[in-house]
A and B are shown apart, each in its own frame.
Chain A
Amino acid sequence: MSRIIMGIESSCDETGVGLVRLHDDGTVELLADEVASSVEQHARFGGVVPEVASRAHLEAMVPTTTRAFEKAGLALSDVDAIAVTAGPGLAGALLVGVSAAKAYATALDVPLYGVNHLAGHIAVDTLQHGPLPAPCLALLVSGGHTQLLRVDDIASSITELGSTVDDAAGEAYDKVARVLGLPYPGGPPIDKAAKNGDPAAIAFPRGMTGPRDAKNDFSFSGLKTAVARWVEGASRRGEEIPVDDVAASFQEAVADVLTMKAVRAAEEQGIGTIVISGGVAANSRLSGLAAERCAAAGIELRVPRPRLCTDNGAMIAALGAHVVAAKRPTAALDFSANPALPVNVVSL
Chain B
Amino acid sequence: MLVLAIDTSTPAVTAGVVEVDGEAVETRGERVTVDPRAHGELITPHALAAAEAAGVALKDLDAIVAGVGPGPFTGLRAGMATAAALGHALGLPVYPVCSLDALAADVTSAEPFLVCTDARRREVYWAAYDGAGNRTDGPHVQRPADLEADVKVAAGDGAVLYAEALGVQPIEPRFPSPAGLVKAARSALLAKAEPAPLTPLYLRRPDAAEPAAPKRVTAR
Q: Which residues of A contact B (CB under 8 A)?
A: 44-46, 49, 51-52, 54-55, 57-58, 61-62, 65-66, 76, 91-92, 95-104, 106-108, 175, 178-179, 225, 228-229, 232-233, 236, 333-337
The contact of A232 among B81, B200, B207, B216, by CB within 8 Å, is: B216
A228 touches B217 (CB 8 A): yes
Complex Cα gap A92–B74 (Å): 6
User: Which residues from chain A contact B83 at a C-beta distance below 8 Å?
Assistant: 103
Complex Cα gap A61–B86 (Å): 12
User: Which residues from chain B contact A58 at a C-beta distance below 8 Å?
Assistant: 77, 80-81, 84, 200
Known: A96-B81, A233-B218. A334 touches B42 (CB 8 A): yes
The contact of B85 among A100, A228, A233, by CB within 8 Å, is: A100
Complex Cα gap A151–B87 (Å): 39
Known: A92-B74, A100-B84. A232 touches B89 (CB 8 A): no
User: Which residues from chain A contact B207 at a C-beta distance below 8 Å?
Assistant: 49, 51
Complex Cα gap A103–B209 (Å): 34
Known: A103-B82, A229-B217. A98 touches B88 (CB 8 A): no
In the assembled complex, the CB of A84 is this many whole angstroms from the nearest CB of chain B, namely: 11
In the assembled complex, the CB of B79 is this many whole angstroms from the nearest CB of chain A, namely: 8
B22 contacts chain A at the CB level, 8 A cutoff: no
User: Which residues from chain A contact B214 at a C-beta distance below 8 Å?
Assistant: 175, 178-179, 228
B47 contacts chain A at the CB level, 8 A cutoff: yes
B58 contacts chain A at the CB level, 8 A cutoff: yes
The contact of B81 among A103, A106, A229, A333, by CB within 8 Å, is: A103
A107 touches B217 (CB 8 A): no
In the assembled complex, the CB of B24 is this many whole angstroms from the nearest CB of chain A, namely: 27
Known: A76-B89, A95-B78. A102 touches B44 (CB 8 A): yes
In the assembled complex, the CB of B6 is this many whole angstroms from the nearest CB of chain A, namely: 9
In the assembled complex, the CB of B199 is this many whole angstroms from the nearest CB of chain A, namely: 8
Q: Which chain B residue shows the least CB distance to A101?
A: B85
Q: Which chain A residue shows the least CB distance to B200?
A: A58
B216 touches A61 (CB 8 A): no
Q: Which chain B residue shows the least CB distance to A179?
A: B214
Complex Cα gap A106–B64 (Å): 15
Interface string of B48-82 (1 = CB under 8 A from A): 10000000001000000000000001100111111
B206 touches A99 (CB 8 A): no
The contact of A76 among B41, B45, B84, B88, by CB within 8 Å, is: B88
A100 touches B82 (CB 8 A): yes
B206 touches A55 (CB 8 A): yes
B44 touches A333 (CB 8 A): yes
In the assembled complex, the CB of B63 is this many whole angstroms from the nearest CB of chain A, namely: 14
User: Which residues from chain B contact A49 at a C-beta distance below 8 Å?
Assistant: 206-208
Which residues of B175-220 have CB atoms within 8 Å of chain A's CB atoms? Answer: 200, 202, 206-211, 214, 216-218
B41 touches A104 (CB 8 A): no
Complex Cα gap A179–B214 (Å): 6
In the assembled complex, the CB of A50 is this many whole angstroms from the nearest CB of chain B, namely: 8
Knowing that A45-B210, A62-B88 touch, tell me 13 more A-B residue pairs with CB under 8 angstroms: A45-B208, A49-B206, A55-B73, A55-B206, A95-B77, A96-B78, A96-B81, A102-B82, A103-B89, A108-B89, A229-B218, A236-B218, A336-B41
Complex Cα gap A212–B88 (Å): 56
B90 contacts chain A at the CB level, 8 A cutoff: yes
User: Which residues from chain A contact B43 at a C-beta distance below 8 Å?
Assistant: 99
A104 touches B89 (CB 8 A): yes
User: Which residues from chain B contact A107 at a C-beta distance below 8 Å?
Assistant: 58, 85-86, 89-90
User: Which residues from chain B contact A233 at a C-beta distance below 8 Å?
Assistant: 218
Shortest beta-carbon contacts, A-B, top 10 = A107-B89, A103-B85, A51-B206, A99-B81, A102-B44, A100-B85, A49-B208, A228-B217, A103-B82, A46-B211
Q: Which chain B residue shows the least CB distance to A176?
A: B214
Q: Which chain B residue shows the least CB distance to A79?
A: B89
B167 contacts chain A at the CB level, 8 A cutoff: no
Complex Cα gap A97–B210 (Å): 27
A99 touches B217 (CB 8 A): no
Complex Cα gap A57–B85 (Å): 13
User: Which residues from chain A contact B218 at a C-beta distance below 8 Å?
Assistant: 228-229, 232-233, 236
User: Which residues from chain B contact A54 at a C-beta distance below 8 Å?
Assistant: 73-74, 77
B40 contacts chain A at the CB level, 8 A cutoff: yes
23 of the cross-chain contacts (CB-CB < 8 Å) are A49-B207, A51-B207, A51-B208, A54-B74, A55-B73, A58-B84, A62-B84, A95-B77, A98-B40, A99-B40, A99-B82, A103-B81, A103-B89, A104-B89, A106-B48, A106-B86, A107-B85, A228-B217, A232-B216, A232-B218, A333-B45, A336-B40, A337-B40
User: Which residues from chain B contact A178 at a C-beta distance below 8 Å?
Assistant: 211, 214
Complex Cα gap A100–B77 (Å): 10
User: Which residues from chain A contact B208 at a C-beta distance below 8 Å?
Assistant: 45, 49, 51-52
